Structure 1
Amino acid sequence: MVTEEHNATRAVLTAPLTLDGDSDVNYGAPNLLQRVLSVLKSVRPGSDLTHFQLPPTFNLPKSQLQCFGESVFCFGKDYLSKCASAESPLDRLTSVVAWSISTAARPMVFGVAPYNPILGETHHVSRGNLNVLLEQVSHHPPVSALHATDDQKQLEMIWCQHPVPKFFGTSVETEVQGKRQLKLLKYGETYVMNSPKLLIRFLPVPGVDWVGHVQITCKETGLEAELSYKYSIFGGRNHRLIKGKIIDSSSSKTIYDIEGHWDRTVTIKDVSSGKLRLIYDAKEAISGLSTPYVEDPKGISERESAVVWGEVSRGILGKEWEKAREAKRSVEQRQRELQKERDSRGEKWAPKHFTVTHSKEDGWDCSPIESQVHPAPIAVPL
């Protein structure tokens, strides 16, 4: 039996991605683009890449579950707290817009990707009073659930994420399906939003960007925001552009126009007065990010992301690629064995922390079983 202390020593936690997509490992290898295209050469355009397996040489030393969580608990300027402290409904929605932008402001490193989480994998982290719990609630298709609570600021987040990557010859576009909710409990307001799409370009200029439309609604106040993420392969004024507006849904009246760049700054303009105001600065939001650490060794679960992939990450960080490949094969083989055991007993796996439903009309929905997330064994320095 694996003890909690042993789990803690096996855990590998790495620094969060920065605004420029930097990581713990230098992936500036020669002919990276050719290596990526060689791996994808057998994939037909339009194919769903959900089940596509990358060798460790193309992996970041962390799970997608960890990357998902970092968008919530790793930040410089605390845009999340502003959502709960703003006095008027309009200011709160404006703050939610800025915070929403901050959660998508860390692109992946071109040519590499995090591990695909295994079924039942969890990631449990605290930052101050913000406690965050993630669980991989489905493996085929991959679906991740997130629940976060902050009793002091009276915040709650419930997210469901189902990435669907498709290959289009010169690019991969990932539609991130699933509903995201931010609840401001003090005001009885729930903000519902979606995620932009992640675009990975191979040609003519390699790069990673966010594209597509995001809508943020609050039925309690009748206010909503519409955002459009755009890019230009040649950079310039239109590179990583955000445009949008905040409207009163009851009258369809535009209150603010939104414009800027998600990797730089975003401003709003009051349409009645013409007054401009800065609401988001990427350098402030994605700077000074701290690496999570194990605070309570006895609380670490064997299903924790940093434990599940610990040996693989050690191999990648040490550039011991055969060790990383063997460790990754071991993780994947163990999952296949567990699935066979469940099938032989006629058992259906069920998530530990979420109730999950799925329909063609509404997609995936993940509801937390407990009302609050408890303090985690892994912490982020304040």
Structure 2
Amino acid sequence: MMGVFSAVAARAGIKDPTTQPNDPGTQEENEEASDEEVLDEEPKHMLLALISQLRVGMDLHKVTLPTFVLEPRSMLERITDFLSHPDLIFGVSQQEDPTERFIQVLRYYLAGWHIKPKGVKKPYNPILGEFFRCRYEYPDGSQGFYIAEQVSHHPPISAFYYVSPTNQIEIWGDLRPKSKFLGNSAATIMEGVSHLRFVDREEDGHYQITMPNMYARGILFGKMILELGDESRVQTAANDIYCDVEFKTKGFFGGDYNAIGGRVRDQTGIVGEISGKWNEVMELKRTKGKTETIFDASKATVTQKIVQPEQDQDWNESRRLWSKVTRAIKKKDLDAATLAKTAIEDFQRDRARLREEKEEKWEPVFFELRDEDEWKPKFTLPEDKQERIKAVEKFIFDYHSTPPPDNPTDQASSAPPPTSPTQTHCPKPDRRSSTTASSPPPAAAKNLDQSASG
């Protein structure tokens, strides 16, 4: 989940990124991505000119950044990288030992960091009302579903929800990045909490997961590289088990990149210690037992996202909304990318101004604020297991927005004609908006049709 920090730090010299067949902007699953980039002279001068206008401690969220620093996909899609290995916890709820269940959840969490774009890049800042949805089909025949929505623009908040009904797993949360300029580096403070629930293990409650912070080093001098740093916590309060994971940054005179460490503790004390590198191999040394590999990135297999083709998406779905920017970046046409990006940003400001004039309050479509400060989906998984997949598909895929006449998709997209049903990667959903409990209410749908910024 890369924030604005990586943009300021991004080494430009845009090279056409290696992409997955249905996943533009990311690298191939088993290809090692470099954390470094070589900066060409022209982008280097542009970046230094931008940096010269910044001051230490400055909030970078409102800084307009050049398109050469962008990873060609939205933050809403970028979040899926951290949900790439739910198969590691399929069936874990059947284990009787709560500590063993926790260790497997920890393993799943640590497995989400090795997927990244080449170099130091920043995904698009989603506009208010933008959303991304997809599905997964796993080798065992089960499915997973994902929906993410930008629920706030000032401050930026991205809410997300993943569910695998057959495997009885739900994951939800929000990301609230705050970026700062630190001189020779830029940092993104990754606020927000993820929650994981085994539907058939009510006694576990929710596993809560926080994120490490991210740093782009070497902006002015030295080697430019992306690092994860500081601590994150994985815990299950119901069982009193937790692990504070330290993401270690490389020292000036020694140390390694991408190292981690942490101790797993339950009611009895320390039960194990994790170590290794988050982009390579990580191990668990049990206090009363042997050392075991909990994840090896070189052997990992990532299930591809299944996403509706751009021309069949709603105007404010991430890939369609940013399609012209993405194509221009991949063609290294920075002028065209800047024009398309500016059109989207202008649209966002215009819609915010219009809402303010009409005294309209923004209402997200798929998520709502509950428990004071927690964004949750407007959806409850049915008790009836036979109805779960149908209900999830209805919630995520039945909603469709009406494009406003001045939407940036008309200005910034040149998608090809619609494909035939046989070419569609995702089942064609019913185009009718539903008013059932598992679908967004009409008021929210109307609000989305009228706005896309904040």
Could you give the per-residue CA deviations for residues 41-78 of structure 1, whole angstroms, max 9, x where no partner exists?
A: 20101111111221212211111111112321x45x93
Give the TM-score normalised by the residue count of structure 2.
0.72
| 8 Å contact from structure 1 (residues 121, 303) kept in 2 | yes
CA contact (8 A) 1:126 1:132 kept: yes
- AA paired with 1:95? Q
How far apart in 2 are the matches of 1:95 and 1:310?
Answer: 38
* 2:62 corresponds to: 51
| Counterpart for residue 122 of structure 1 | 131
Question: In terms of mean alpha carbon deviation, does 184-193 or 225-234 score higher?
Answer: 225-234
The SS at the match of 1:79 is helix
Query: Is 1:224 the counterpart of 2:278 in the alignment?
Result: no
Q: Which runs of 5+ in 2 are unaligned?
A: 1-21, 138-142, 382-391, 398-423, 427-454
Select the structure with the greater relative contact order (CA < 8 A; seq sep ≥ 6).
1
Q: 2:231 aligns with which of 208, 213, 235?
A: 213
The answer as to 2:200 corresponding to 1:186 is yes
5 Å-filtered alignment, 1:1-382, equals: 13-17=23-27, 20-21=32-33, 28-31=38-41, 34-72=45-83, 74=84, 78-81=87-90, 83-84=92-93, 86-128=95-137, 129-188=143-202, 189=204, 190-202=206-218, 203-232=221-250, 238-248=256-266, 250-251=267-268, 253-273=269-289, 275-285=290-300, 290=304, 292-294=306-308, 298=312, 300-356=313-369, 364-372=373-381, 373-374=392-393
Looking at structure 2, the residues matched to 313 and 324 of structure 1 have their Cα atoms a distance apart, in angstroms, of 7
Alignment: residue pair count = 356
For 1:148 and 1:235, locate their aligned partners in 2 and report how far apart those are by CA, in whole Å.
Answer: 42
Return the alpha-carbon distance in structure 1 between the equivalents of residues 208 and 153 of structure 2. 25
SS in 2 for 1:51: coil
Identity %: 23
CA change 1:339–1:113 in 2 (3 A) is same
Q: Matched residues in 2 for 1:223 and 1:170: separation?
A: 38
Q: Distance in 1 between the 2:91 and 2:48 partners?
A: 43
Structure having the higher strand fraction is 1
C-alpha separation between the residues in 1 aligned to 2:44 and 2:253? 19
Query: Structure 1: which amino acid aligns with 2:58?
Result: S
Which deviates more, 366-375 or 231-240?
231-240
> What is the Cα deviation at residue 89 of structure 1?
1.6
Question: Retained in 1: the 8 A contact 2:81–2:116?
Answer: no
Question: In 2, Cα distance between the equivalents of 1:22 and 1:291?
Answer: 23
**Cα 1:301/1:182, change in 2 over 3 Å:** same
Q: How far apart are the structure 2 equivalents of 1:229 and 1:296?
A: 37
Contact 1:14 1:292 in 2 (8 A): no
Q: What does the per-residue CA deviation read over 1:165-221, in whole Å, with 9 as the maximum and x for residues that have no partner?
A: 111001111111011101111112221010010111014321001111111111222
Match of 1:311, SS?
Answer: helix
Q: What amino acid maps onto 2:393 in structure 1?
A: H
Distance 1:44 1:20, change over 3 A: farther
Q: 1:170 to 1:358 in 2, by over 3 A?
A: farther
Q: Which residue of 2 aligns with 1:7?
A: none
| Residue pair 2:276, 2:282 contacting (<8 A) in 1 also | yes
SS at match of 1:140: coil
